[in-house]
Amino acid sequence: MNIEILVVPDCPNTGPAANLLRRVLDDVGLHDTAFSTRVIADQATAEAAAFTGSPTFLIDGRDPFAEPGRAPGLACRVYKTPDGLAGLPRPDQLRQALTCALQ
């Protein structure tokens, strides 16, 4: 499984996103699964990566939280959660995305 977190430079959610991902990977038994963080610094790179905001989680190259019609760009990402809009998905949402990718 290849997992990346895509972020813009100086994103305040870079650290929290990495911590969340590590915690969820451990929760689902993927203790040895590594992930990388990639900085998206310009519009051309954002378009090439289909990057729609920071942070973006990619699991095997796929954004499990992609919203159809959302244009690529250098921006902060907002996730829809049961508690409202947030800068990160909830742990259960990320856990579900990882679990689905394993099947």
Instruction: Name the 3-class secondary structure at 55.
Output: coil
- Report residue 73 as tokens: 């760009």
Q: What is the pLDDT of residues 4-38, one digit of tens each?
A: 999 999 999 999 999 999 999 999 999 999 999 99
Verdict on whether the full-model pTM lies above 0.85: yes
Residues spanned by the domain of 66 = 3-102
CATH number at residue 16: 3.40.30
Q: How many domains does the chain have?
A: 1
pLDDT at 103: 82
Tell me the pLDDT tens digit for each residue of 83-97: 999 999 999 999 999
Quick one: what percent of the chain has pLDDT higher than 90? 96
Q: Look at residues 71, 80, 59 and name the one whose alpha carbon lies nearest to residue 4.
A: 59
